[in-house]
Amino acid sequence: MSIAEQIKAVQDKKGGLIKEMESMLNTEKSLDDAEQKAFDDLESEISTLDSRLKNLERTEQLIAKSNAVPVTVPDTSTPITSHPTVMDQDKTLFYPKMLHALYVSKGDSARAAQYAKYQLKDELIAKAVQMPPEMIQKASVLAGTTGTDTWAEELTTIGQANAAFIEMLRPMSIVARFPGRQMTFDGNSSIVIPRQTAGVTGGWVAEAGGIKVNKLALDQVTLAPVKNGVIVPVTNELIARSDPSALSLVRDDLLKGIATTIDTKFVSSDAASAGVSPAGIQTYDGTPTVSAGDTLDNVTTDLKTLTSALMAINMPMQAPVWLLHPTRVNSLRFMRDGAGQYAFRDEVNNGMLAGYPIIESTTITSTVVILVDASQVILATDLAPELSISTDASLHMVDTSVATDIGGATTPVTSMFQTDSTAVKAVTRLDWAGRYAECAQVLTSATW
């Protein structure tokens, strides 16, 4: 009998003994001496089985380690199909594998842990599916060490998986690659950032004269982890497969959904909604500028207007960045001067415009151009998602505001049960704020 078969046999026997103990207690009368002895014997036998089960599991782990074969990746550009043992090392598949385990176990975390351990051969996923979401969110711990087995070591690895997921999100999301002051909540209910709203002035002083005394004017910015959620429908055929290609598709759908929902709000002109969502970055400009037109001279005027406006209000200009729709970038790439020379092509191809870096995103309105001093925007995020799944939900399939009152959802409504699909809900928590009211300048009606 193999080790895995012995483990199952011990677990089955233990389950049977527990049922016997339960049946003995399913009566209102107290146990007599003989019954109490039998009850104690059952408890003792379960304790013995627990010890044997622990030894079997340790042996199984040692056998797995001794049978591990190092994988050498050949030096070639040809795509390589990963073996499952290689897949287990890919931390970017942490969340898709967790979803897969929960799906095949119908959302039962205990069964999902068993499946992850014995079928996926992944101890980390087995532990993670039974951890509270707030534990999975943490990348570090206050007690133990990163080498302490069954405690800090697992949380550190989960933290690395979170970091890998966020790194995958970076090229897709403005917020993930925005060069502002990035912070994490790390379980805190809010972060308070002091800011200076007015400076001090000195003065010329005569010999033995008194030096002028001023005081700083200060207030504070409070960031609280408001909730952003996205639901991604996935076919059951896809989520039921545990091979890397299927899991990568699930991962990519999650990344795209998270990036789009967050970035759409970040670059918007929406006002803040207390406890619901932060203000869009366009609100940091009190009076947006209308584009001068679509000629080269007009473009030059527009760029000069935005950069000069930031400089005129004494922005530090430590990390200015352009936020542009790809069509605006492409138009600049092909714009020529009177001599037929490309005016911006070389600079734009290097990701720059007027000496400042460009971030492109289709979430930005195509006729809007934003220049923001990113050093004056503070972002606090926990971009690693909290995941849950449902195979029975009916979804209102819109990417705009969703009716929340009973019976309020209108068409199109899609049933996950009817379409043999699974709804994956990803919730992230984040907030952002500008340290100065006009740290961004916005150009509207741009058609160049």
0.85 surpassed by pTM: no
Give Dmax (Cα) for the chain.
Answer: 106
Both tokens of residue 293?
Answer: 């037109």
Helices 109-118, 94-104: inter-axial angle, 10-degree rounding: 110
Identify residue 183 by its one-letter amino acid code.
M
Give, in degrees to the nearest 5, the angle at Cα 67 between 62 and 72: 130
Give the other-Cβ count within 10 Å of 320's Cβ: 25
Helices 94-104, 152-169: inter-axial angle, 10-degree rounding: 110
How far apart CA 331 and CA 347 sit, in angstroms, is 13
Give the other-Cβ count within 10 Å of 21's Cβ: 13
What does each of the 448 residues of the chain score in pLDDT, given as a tens digit? 778 788 888 888 888 888 888 788 777 777 888 888 888 888 888 888 888 888 887 777 777 655 544 444 444 443 333 333 333 457 778 888 888 988 888 888 888 888 888 888 888 788 877 766 554 554 443 333 334 444 444 555 566 667 777 777 877 889 888 888 888 777 677 888 776 665 566 778 888 888 877 766 667 778 888 888 888 888 888 888 887 788 888 888 888 888 888 999 999 999 998 888 999 999 998 889 999 999 999 999 999 999 999 999 888 899 999 999 999 999 999 999 999 999 999 999 999 999 999 999 999 999 999 999 999 998 888 777 888 888 888 887 776 655 554 455 556 788 988 888 988 888 888 899 888 778 999 999 999 9
DSSP string, 331-393: HHHH-B-TTS-BSSHHHHHTTEETTEEEEE-TTS-TT-EEEEEGGGEEEEEEEEEEEEEESS-
Both tokens of residue 301?
Answer: 């005027």
